[in-house]
């Protein structure tokens, strides 16, 4: 938790002093506080104390606690978008073979970069995952639109693949299947909060788990990977 830890470095100051430093310190402290306790469990005073800044600076920089939370979440999603790279971009697959390969890439990328983190992931990214877990369970109105902006491109890419893999499906049916695949990814993320890490020899590594999940989905959709 954020108790006893400071994210500032130049004292409290007023609203006009060290604006850049104050804003950064508040964002960093807020990420730690919100990730550990959620929005409702975190007070403005908690964040200000962790940042070593005057609580009035939150209103000055972000307007409100809600505004600060949304900015923290926006930054978390930007990091995720950058790590996911171009997997959700590009033209639609032209045939069944391309669709199979695209599905493998999409599912594996989501697993490795978004859902099944390896042990080497930096602490800040892990805090971002905790924040995502809070919002996936019960998204706040101001954050729901940000989540849709992250997820929608992936649903569109899955839908394009499924139009090739399940040509008998209507456009609505293909999108429903795509949403189901994406939903499965989100369930895996949610389950992370319920799993107790172990070091048993038989535990799946992230790469193996991603490949297994991609194969499972393709078989469930009636597609046998080449």
Give domain limits for the chain: 1-63, 85-220
Q: Smallest Cα–Cα separation from 103: which of 148, 173, 157? A: 157
| Distance from C-alpha of 80 to C-alpha of 70, rounded to nearest angstrom | 15
The burial class, CB within 10 Å (0-12 / 13-18 / 19+), for 217 is: buried
Among 34-48, 81-95, 107-121, 153-167, the range scoring the smallest mean pLDDT is 107-121
- Mean pLDDT in residue range 105-128: 75
Whether CATH 1.10.10.60 fits 1-63: yes
Q: Smallest Cα–Cα separation from 22: which of 34, 11, 33, 38? A: 11
pLDDT at 9 (0 to 100): 44
pLDDT tens string 31-86: 999 999 999 999 999 999 999 999 999 999 999 999 999 999 999 988 888 777 67
pLDDT at 128 (0 to 100): 85
Find out whether 222 and 162 touch, Cβ atoms under 8 Å. no
pLDDT at 2 (0 to 100): 43
Question: Residue 19 — left, alpha, or beta (φ > 0 → left; ψ -120 to 50 → alpha)?
Answer: alpha
* φ and ψ at residue 125, rounded to 5 degrees: -65, -35
What predicted TM-score, i.e. pTM, was given to this entire model?
A: 0.76
pLDDT at 39 (0 to 100): 92
pLDDT tens string 212-226: 888 988 888 888 655
Residues written for the chain = 226
């Amino acid at each position: 938790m954020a108790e006893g830890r400071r994210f500032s470095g130049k004292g409290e100051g007023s609203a006009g002093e060290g604006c850049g430093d104050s804003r950064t310190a508040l964002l960093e402290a807020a990420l730690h506080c919100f990730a550990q306790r959620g929005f409702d469990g975190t007070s403005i005073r908690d964040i200000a104390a962790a940042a070593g800044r005057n609580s009035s600076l939150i209103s000055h920089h972000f307007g409100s606690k809600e505004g600060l939370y949304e900015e923290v979440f926006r930054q978390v999603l930007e990091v995720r978008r950058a790590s996911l790279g171009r997997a959700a971009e590009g033209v639609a697959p032209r045939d069944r073979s391309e669709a199979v390969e695209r599905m493998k890439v999409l599912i594996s990328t989501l697993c490795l970069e978004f859902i099944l983190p390896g042990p080497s992931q930096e602490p800040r990214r892990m805090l971002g995952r905790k924040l995502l877990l809070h919002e996936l369970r019960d998204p706040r109105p101001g954050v729901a639109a940000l989540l849709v902006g992250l997820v929608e491109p992936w649903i569109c890419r899955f839908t394009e693949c499924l139009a090739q893999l399940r040509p008998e499906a209507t456009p609505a049916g293909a999108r429903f299947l795509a949403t189901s695949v994406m939903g499965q990814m989100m369930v895996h993320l949610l389950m992370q909060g319920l799993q107790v890490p172990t070091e048993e020899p038989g535990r799946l590594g992230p790469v193996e788990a991603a490949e297994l999940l991609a194969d499972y989905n393709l078989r469930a959709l009636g597609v046998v990977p080449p």
